[in-house]
Amino acid sequence: MTRRGIIEELLARSEGASYRDAETIVNTIFDAMGAVLARGQRIEIRGFGSFAVKSRRARQGRNPKTGATVAVEAKRVPFFRAGKELRAEINGARQAAETHPS
């Protein structure tokens, strides 16, 4: 799902909201999440999952085309861990599809 898809889903679920309002809401949430993660803090959304920042150490990598050794700098990367309820929902949907094929 894209940002636009989220905005359209929000519009479908709320009466009287304009596209601009929904877009502002979605952009505000994503901007706030990005700012929190940039500060190195954690975000936890109960029933959905948590977002955190993990530090990756510097290492020696390899160029796949040439095989040459390349220095990869240390960096921070966003990390998502799905919550128990989300994992159960995903696995339940898959199991239901396997039991009732279309």
Task: Give me the domain span that covers residue 70.
Answer: 46-102
**Same domain for 52 and 7:** no
Distance separating alpha carbons of residues 76 and 79, to the nearest angstrom? 9
Same domain, residue pair 29 and 66: no
> Which residue is associated with the tokens 């954690």?
42
In this prediction the pTM is 0.72
Mean pLDDT by 10 residues, the chain (102 residues): 94 91 95 96 95 96 94 95 93 67 58
Residues 6+ apart with CB under 8 A from 37: 43, 51, 52, 53, 78
pLDDT at 98: 63
Q: How many domains does the chain have?
A: 2
